[in-house]
Structure 1
Amino acid sequence: METSKPAVRKEIREKTASLTSEEKLSLSDRATYLLENDPLFKNAEIIAMYWSLDDEVNTHRFIEKWNGKKTILLPVIEGANIYFATYDGMKDMVKEDRFGVLQPENSNIYNIKTIDLIVVPGVAFDRKNNRLGRGKGYYDRALSESRCPKVGICFPHQYVEQLPVDIHDIKVDKVVFA
């Protein structure tokens, strides 16, 4: 595997694009099954997730399943930062302007220090729990303020031996993949 972040992103995106919709959904179901059976998830009450894009582990059904049983938070992009707000159902979701990500509107913003678990998306993760994001630093800035466990979730091809890392990159505590 190439060693530069852009090269790794390109290689992983190509592999993800080669998966069929059915393969993505099957792998997503397996990954979220493993997540919900993990003690970190089981013991958490306030969980920050993400509303998945097409090239990420699909979290939509998982969020719907657990909404109401646990407090589910989703990221809200504001300027150069993300905040986590309560998910109250699809009726309150709006498309964010710059990236087209669905996010809660008119919802309660939670202090990141009150969250029990953060489930983190990534382009790739490695065996040392390093995370490679999309390159904008949103999660690195947010995660640097958090002391709760962080779990990366990904497709198997997104879990690699080693990633290039910078000093500001925030590790996850665990990686779950199908």
Structure 2
Amino acid sequence: MDKKELRTMIREKRKNLTTDYKDRANAEIATRFLLYPVFQQVDSIFCYVNTPDEPDTRAIIETAFQMGKMVTVPRCKPGPEHVMEAVQIQSFDDLEPGTMGILEPKEGLPVIDGYKIALAVVPCISADRWGGRLGHGAGYYDKWLHGLDIYKYCLCFEELLSERVPMEQNDIKMDRVFTEDKIYNPRVQSEDTLGEIKRDAVKSGLTEILKSLFPWKK
């Protein structure tokens, strides 16, 4: 199956995801991500602003603000070269509808060079357990990530995970894939560190932040 066929298949599967499933999956994905030691340790992140079909990143961005991290989000510049910038924001008020209606940073905000950012949170249509990522096909993220020494973490609903994503020469593999069920590490196929790192979350005070973000989640 090639990328085009896989995109079509995943988009059909995505239509069948219920609101209840996505709400619970979003909470689990965010919890795993926010408790992950690398996120807690870095001082800067680049994070996509989700569409309704993608894993929600609002909790990630909001928590990064609360922890004093530098937060940058993507701005896709129109044109055949598919150039993307990392723009620093201070709050969600710095966003407005941009390319394809996706929330993007307003004009006039500082553009940050990729080498100054420690961690990238990358969207996908699908991903696999070995770090393969299927994007929308424009190549914005692969081009921006090329050559950067940066943590590359992808968020994906477990229901939309693929057995294998076809990878081409210029495609960038992810260092971790976060789903509601597991944190997949391509080097060891999968890991589930949630139980281990919850103890650190209590010590750091992050547990209280999570309770405020997901008050219904036990």
TM-score (norm 1): 0.92
Distance, in Å, in 2 between the alignment partners of 1:94 and 1:145 is 29
**Structure 2 match to 1:77:** 76
- Structure 1 gap segments, 5+ residues each: none
**Structure 2 match to 1:37:** 35
| Worse-superposed segment, 38-47 or 87-96 | 87-96
| Residue 125 (1) aligns with residue 127 (2) | yes
**What SS does structure 1 have at the residue aligned with 2:101?**
coil
| Residue 88 (1) aligns with residue 90 (2) | yes
Which deviations, in whole Å up to 9, do the C-alpha atoms of 1:72-91 show, x marking residues without a partner? 11101113211111122232
| Worse-superposed segment, 84-93 or 131-140 | 84-93
**Structure 2 match to 1:7:** 5
| Worse-superposed segment, 128-137 or 16-25 | 16-25
**What SS does structure 1 have at the residue aligned with 2:167?**
coil
Distance, in Å, in 2 between the alignment partners of 1:138 and 1:5 is 16
Q: Which has the higher contact order (CA 8 A, sep 6+)?
A: 1
Q: How many angstroms does 1:65 deviate by?
A: 3.0
Q: How many angstroms does 1:43 deviate by?
A: 1.3
Q: Which of residues 53, 56, 61 in structure 2 aligns to 1:55?
A: 53
Q: How many angstroms does 1:10 deviate by?
A: 1.4
**Structure 1 match to 2:25:** 27
More helix per residue: 1 or 2?
2
Could you tell me whether the CA contact under 8 Å between 2:30 and 2:59 is conserved in 1? no
Distance, in Å, in 1 between the alignment partners of 2:60 and 2:84 is 21
- One-letter amino acid of the counterpart of residue 154, structure 1: C
Q: How many angstroms does 1:126 deviate by?
A: 1.2
The number of residue pairs the alignment matches comes to: 175
- Structure 2 gap segments, 5+ residues each: 181-218
- Please say which structure displays the higher CA radius of gyration: 2
Identity across the alignment (%): 29
Distance, in Å, in 1 between the alignment partners of 2:93 and 2:30 is 23
- One-letter amino acid of the counterpart of residue 161, structure 1: E
Distance, in Å, in 2 between the alignment partners of 1:113 and 1:94 is 25
